[in-house]
């Protein structure tokens, strides 16, 4: 019995041990299963997290890629868009020289109210009417202008990129004036593109400016020179004078290198805001030769502008005169200028004019010239208008915001009907200009009439009924009226047999003139 009991106890102990072992194994399995489940959950969660992160990363990468593509497209759009502004004649009379001298030879005050608009453009140009000198003792106003070089510094500081100097006053200081002017720009402001005057016969008649995705050919010609000076034959290359041959050759060559061609033409009359026949004929010829933009200076009054549609489907934008930018003249017409504002668009190899307009400007100076500056007409006030020095010259004049706005409206957009059938009609003929200076023209038989005199010389004389308004200012006085000109009426022959009142005022006669 005892033996059976012992066996039974041993059996039970074995069963208990087996049960405990099974329980241990079960617990271990449960633990392992739990661990596996936890691991699976962790792995699953990690995989899910990684997946989500990958999705987020891919989304972020896609968003970033889209942003980069949009930024690249926007940048490309910006690089295929060129915003250009241009202003008219920067004519520094004696009063402004004295004002600059009182300001330690700093002329920034002239442009401080227009500076932001100039800097806002991709390219901005100004017609620097007169030569520059670094010698203060040689500075002079009318009649033989010699402008302090600090005016050039002020133009550069105002943001201008292009300076045109082929004007009737380019040779006022003869060869030395040309060389001094070029030396100043090259030495002090080498990044500025200087047009119209040269120190070498080898210079091209145009320059190429590379800006954004554009290659722009720019060129500048004057149709005249001051009657007080004539260029010797061996120095004739120093000023770019207008002739059909020069223009045609330059444009033909420039168009092979550039996307866009811009011609700055110095010439025209001050009769009215409407462009005269002679100027329109020149514009038509330039357009036929492929000029994309034509910007005219010299008349000293604001004229209209228009977009010319040519038979080949191309367009030419022309501003017939931007008037004066800075001047000491004393008529409302001469104190109202304009700022050309246009945008070019490039698609592939094609460039189009996307938009264009003109912003009226006002040249302000008070009685004692302690305040002298250019304003946009929109920024000009009635108070300033009533403080203008013009009232000292002519107390009865209507120089007001309303009068300025009325005058500006006359120089709005034009819509001329063009036939572009003037292959032989644009031979150069004599034209009156508002300064009574020599003209670079070739006269055709077709255009010669009872009122037009044929001249076989390369350059004819341009007579004026009265001295140009920009020359009507002396150190002590300024002419109060706008000067009118008409070569067809006053010009008789290249010897100047028909004397103009300009000659009477300045003391110059026909014997002082030379025909080019």
Backbone dihedral region for residue 290 (phi beyond 0: left; psi -120 to 50: alpha; all else: beta)? left
Instruction: Name, in order, each residue with C-beta under 8 angstroms of 114's C-beta and a sequence gap of 6 or more.
Output: 87, 158, 339, 361, 374, 375, 376
Mean pLDDT of 353-377: 97
Radius of gyration of the chain (CA): 38
- DSSP 8-state assignment for residue 469: G
The DSSP-derived string for 43-88 is: HHHHHHHHHHHHHHHHHHHHHHHHHHHHHHHHHHHHHTEEEEEEEE
**Choice between 487 and 3, residue whose per-residue pLDDT is larger:** 3
Is residue 39 very low, low, confident or very high in pLDDT (cuts 50, 70, 90)? confident
Residue 420 pLDDT greater than 70, yes or no: yes
Instruction: Name, in order, each residue with C-beta under 8 angstroms of 33's C-beta and a sequence gap of 6 or more.
Output: none
Q: What is the pLDDT of residues 454-480, one digit of tens each?
A: 333 334 434 343 334 344 443 333 333
CB 184 within 8 A of CB 132: yes
Is residue 156 very low, low, confident or very high in pLDDT (cuts 50, 70, 90)? very high
β-pairing verdict for 207-211 and 224-225: unpaired
Round the average pLDDT of the chain to a whole number and report it: 83
- Dist CA 222 CA 97 (whole Å): 25
For the entire predicted model, the pTM comes to 0.77
**Choice between 3 and 118, residue whose per-residue pLDDT is larger:** 118
Mean pLDDT of 113-119: 97
CB 96 within 8 A of CB 325: no
Candidate from 225-229, 237-241, 364-368, 437-441 with smallest mean pLDDT: 437-441
The reported pLDDT for the residue numbered 146 is 97
**Choice between 20 and 489, residue whose per-residue pLDDT is larger:** 20
Q: How many CA atoms lie within 13 A of 261 on its CB side?
A: 27
Which residues make beta-bridge pairs with 340?
86, 358
- Edge-first strand order for the sheet with 438-439 is 224-225, 438-439, 460-461
**Choice between 477 and 378, residue whose per-residue pLDDT is larger:** 378
Q: How many CA atoms lie within 13 A of 270 on its CB side?
A: 30
| 121-143 exposure pattern, b = at least 16 Cβ within 10 A, e = fewer | bbbbbbbbbbbbbbeeeebbbbb
The reported pLDDT for the residue numbered 175 is 96
The reported pLDDT for the residue numbered 353 is 97
CB atoms within 10 A of CB 189: 18
Q: Which of 228-232, 299-303, 424-428 has the highest mean pLDDT?
A: 299-303
Q: What percent of the chain has pLDDT over 70?
A: 81
| 378-417 exposure pattern, b = at least 16 Cβ within 10 A, e = fewer | eebeeebbeebbbbebeeebebebeebeebbeebeebeee
Residue 451 pLDDT greater than 60, yes or no: no
The reported pLDDT for the residue numbered 23 is 87
Is residue 7 very low, low, confident or very high in pLDDT (cuts 50, 70, 90)? confident
Residue 36 pLDDT greater than 70, yes or no: yes
Instruction: Name, in order, each residue with C-beta under 8 angstroms of 83's C-beta and a sequence gap of 6 or more.
Output: 120, 121, 122, 123, 341, 342, 343
- Dist CA 345 CA 409 (whole Å): 28
**Choice between 445 and 256, residue whose per-residue pLDDT is larger:** 256
Mean pLDDT of 181-203: 97
């Amino acid at each position: 019995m005892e033996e059976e009991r012992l066996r039974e106890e041993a059996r039970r102990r074995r069963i208990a041990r087996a049960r405990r072992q099974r329980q241990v194994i079960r617990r271990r399995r449960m633990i392992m299963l739990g661990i596996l489940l936890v691991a699976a959950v962790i792995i699953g969660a990690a995989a899910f997290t990684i997946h989500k992160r990958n999705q987020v990363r891919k989304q972020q990468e896609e968003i970033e890629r889209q942003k980069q593509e949009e930024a690249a497209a926007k940048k490309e759009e910006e690089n295929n868009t060129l915003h250009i502004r241009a202003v008219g004649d920067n004519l520094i009379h004696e009063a402004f020289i004295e004002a600059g001298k009182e300001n330690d030879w700093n002329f920034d005050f002239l442009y401080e109210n227009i500076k932001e608009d100039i800097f806002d453009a991709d390219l901005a140009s100004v017609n620097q009417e007169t030569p520059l000198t670094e010698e203060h003792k040689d500075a002079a106003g009318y009649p033989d202008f010699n402008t302090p070089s600090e005016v050039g510094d002020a133009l550069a500081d105002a943001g201008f990129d292009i300076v045109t100097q082929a004007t009737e006053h380019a040779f006022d200081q003869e060869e030395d004036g040309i060389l001094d002017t070029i030396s100043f720009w090259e030495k002090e402001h080498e990044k500025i593109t200087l047009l119209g005057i040269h120190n070498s016969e080898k210079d091209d008649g145009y320059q190429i400016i590379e800006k954004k995705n554009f290659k722009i050919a720019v060129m500048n010609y004057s149709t005249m020179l001051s009657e007080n000076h004539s260029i010797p034959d061996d120095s004739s290359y120093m000023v770019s004078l207008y002739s059909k041959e020069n223009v045609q050759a330059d444009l033909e060559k420039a168009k092979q290198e550039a996307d866009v061609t811009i011609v700055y033409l110095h010439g025209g009359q001050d009769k009215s805001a409407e462009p005269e026949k002679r100027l329109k004929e020149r514009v038509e010829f330039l357009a036929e030769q492929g000029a994309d933009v034509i910007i005219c200076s010299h008349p000293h009054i604001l004229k209209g502008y228009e977009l010319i549609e040519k038979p080949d489907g191309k367009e030419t934008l022309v501003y017939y005169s931007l008037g004066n930018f800075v001047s000491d003249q004393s008529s409302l017409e001469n104190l109202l200028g304009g700022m050309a504002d246009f945008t070019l668009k490039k698609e592939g190899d094609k460039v189009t004019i996307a938009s264009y307009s003109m912003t009226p400007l006002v040249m302000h100076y008070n009685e004692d010239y302690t305040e002298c500056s250019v304003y946009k007409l929109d920024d000009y006030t009635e108070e300033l208008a009533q403080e203008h020095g013009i009232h000292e010259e002519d107390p009865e004049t209507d120089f007001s915001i309303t009068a300025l706005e009325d005058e500006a409206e006359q120089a709005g957009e034009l819509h001329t009907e063009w036939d572009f059938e003037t292959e032989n009609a644009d031979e150069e003929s004599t034209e009156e200009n508002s300064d009574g200076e020599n003209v670079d023209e070739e006269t055709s038989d077709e255009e010669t009439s009872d009122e037009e005199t044929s001249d076989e010389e390369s350059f004819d004389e341009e007579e004026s009924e009265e001295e140009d308004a920009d020359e009507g200012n002396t150190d002590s006085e300024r002419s109060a009226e706008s000067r009118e000109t008409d070569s067809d009426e006053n010009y008789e022959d290249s010897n100047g047999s028909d004397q103009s009142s300009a000659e009477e005022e300045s003391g110059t006669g026909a014997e002082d003139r030379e025909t080019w």
